[in-house]
Amino acid sequence: MFILTKYELGKIFQKKIIYVALFLFLILSSINIYNSFQIYDYDLYLIPKDLQKPITENIFENKIKNINEGYIYGELTDSEKKSVNLYTAISDAKNNYDSLIIEKNSILEQLNTITNKSTFNYRNTKLQYEMFNKIPRPYIFNEQGWYEVVNYINQNGMLYVCILIILGISTAITSEYSTYMDSIIKSSKKGKKQFITAKIYASIIYTVIISLIFAAFNSIPYLMSLDNYGYNVPIQNIYDFIHSPYLLTIGQYLLVQFLVHLAGAIIFSLIVLLVSALCRSMLTSIFLSSSIWALPLVIEQYTYVEDKTPGIIDFSLTNIIKAAPLFRTYKTYNILGYPVLYPYLLIGIYIILVPVILYLVYYFFKNKHVQ
């Protein structure tokens, strides 16, 4: 099986289009990183060691008085820029803390108005309050640099990985049909099951490799320029996650984000392989695979309205590959009267679907009529 898997993986990496796309995407990522470093001097956003901690009223009242926010950026010295950035960090932390208190009090007030404790509404509101009540005070923190690392997979990283999956895997089985190799494979000793198993292993390995390449390529330049303080800061200090109920530091979130993204990418690669098993035409396979990935993005871009668009967006695989939409806000679903958190439900559904997808890949290849 190892030799067969190695052979199938080699067939994927023999495609020149993969290297063209990979080179192009790495160039685009390099340009984005370069532009970011041109805009921000990350050394000017570092927080002094004595202030690398959660915001308090005492810090806010004592420190804010000594920082002049009235400078004009174009005329500042580096020392003055650091002062303005520190002022911003302290002010943002204080505002975020005030917002957190207001949000917790609002949830608690709503909880206290519910008299029937056996309802979904009570259980859901109670869970929401318990989660938000565990969120620590916001830290004094500037998100510049960290925001780019956290948000990469949600934007360009997801785009690049999915395109490379389509280019590498969408013709994996279809090409065997077009060259009439499927008849030979099905009649061979290691045909059918072992052949498909090797393609599945190769697809997964390929997906892991390209996901690691883009995650490392984008993250390393920023992480080398930032101090270790940010790893221990709550994810709520990143603007996009200010309403997140999840008790995660930025360092923990980066790990969770990559693992969720990788799981989604692997599941997508298996779906693409299933489409390839269904289609005799390579163009049809590429088109259908691209549609499965792109359709939710198009709907989200042009028609999505929060809490109004049906679950085609919330339950799309694209959200798992992005990872970030799962953790930004508190969202649950009513399962037999109990609240189930959105990330757990969505990931659980697709994990359950994996054996079904694998079975269908084997089934359609085995029963595809030989021409």
265-281 residue pLDDT tens: 999 999 999 998 888 77
- What average pLDDT does range 197-213 have in this prediction? 93
**Confidence class of residue 186 from pLDDT cuts 50, 70 and 90?**
low
* Contact present, 124 and 332 (Cβ < 8 Å): yes
Task: Select from 317, 348, 344, 146 the least CA-distant residue to 246.
Answer: 344
Same structural domain, 205 and 297: yes
**Confidence class of residue 89 from pLDDT cuts 50, 70 and 90?**
confident
What is the count of structural domains for the chain? 2
* Structure tokens that stand for 353 in this block: 């679907």
Of 141, 172, 206, the last residue of a domain is 141
Task: Return the higher-pLDDT residue of 346 and 57.
Answer: 346
Phi/psi of residue 72, each to 5°?
A: -105, 125
Same structural domain, 80 and 181: no
Tell me the sheet residues that pair with 60.
none
Residue 307 reports pLDDT greater than 60: no
Taking the model in full, what pTM does it have? Answer: 0.87
Chain centroid to CA 115: 39
Same structural domain, 169 and 271: yes
Side chain identity at residue 207, one-letter code: T
How far is Cα 255 from Cα 219, in angstroms, rounded to an integer? Answer: 12
Same structural domain, 205 and 341: yes
Rg for the chain, CA atoms, rounded: 25
Domain of residue 69, residue span: 47-141
DSSP summary character for residue 229? G
Question: To the nearest whole number, what is the mean pLDDT of the chain?
Answer: 83
* Contact present, 217 and 23 (Cβ < 8 Å): no
Q: What is the DSSP string of 301-341?
A: HHT--TTTS-TTTTT-HHHHHH-GGGTSS--EEEETTEEEE
Break the chain down into helix, strand, coil percent, rounded to 5. 70, 5, 25
Residue 241 reports pLDDT greater than 70: yes
**Confidence class of residue 252 from pLDDT cuts 50, 70 and 90?**
very high
How far is Cα 62 from Cα 56, in angstroms, rounded to an integer? Answer: 10
Chain centroid to CA 34: 22
Distant-in-sequence, close-in-space partners of 316: CB < 8 Å, separation ≥ 6: 296
Residue 72 reports pLDDT greater than 50: no
Side chain identity at residue 106, one-letter code: S
List the Cα angle 134/347/240 in 5-degree steps: 50
Same structural domain, 71 and 108: yes
Of 84, 116, 141, the last residue of a domain is 141
Q: Give Cα separations from 130 to 104, 126, 213, 339 (angstroms).
A: 9, 6, 38, 13
Phi/psi of residue 222, each to 5°?
A: -70, -45
> pLDDT tens, 108-166?
999 999 888 889 999 999 999 999 999 988 888 888 788 888 888 888 888 999 999 99
| pLDDT number for residue 33 | 87
Long-range CB pairs of 122-126, under 8 A, 24+ apart, other chains included: 123/337, 123/338, 123/339, 124/332, 124/334, 124/339
Same structural domain, 95 and 216: no
Of 141, 161, 192, the last residue of a domain is 141
Other beta carbons less than 10 A from residue 139's beta carbon: 24
Same structural domain, 58 and 162: no
- What average pLDDT does range 207-236 have in this prediction? 88
Same structural domain, 74 and 126: yes
Which range, of 145-154, 198-207, 358-367, averages the lowest pLDDT? Answer: 358-367
Same structural domain, 51 and 193: no
| pLDDT number for residue 330 | 92
Same structural domain, 203 and 134: no
Task: Select from 366, 193, 194 the least CA-distant residue to 278.
Answer: 366
Same structural domain, 265 and 302: yes
Q: Which of 38-47, 169-178, 298-307 has the highest mean pLDDT?
A: 169-178
pLDDT-above-70 percentage for the chain:
84
Task: Return the higher-pLDDT residue of 247 and 277.
Answer: 247
Residue 10 reports pLDDT greater than 80: yes
Same structural domain, 262 and 339: yes
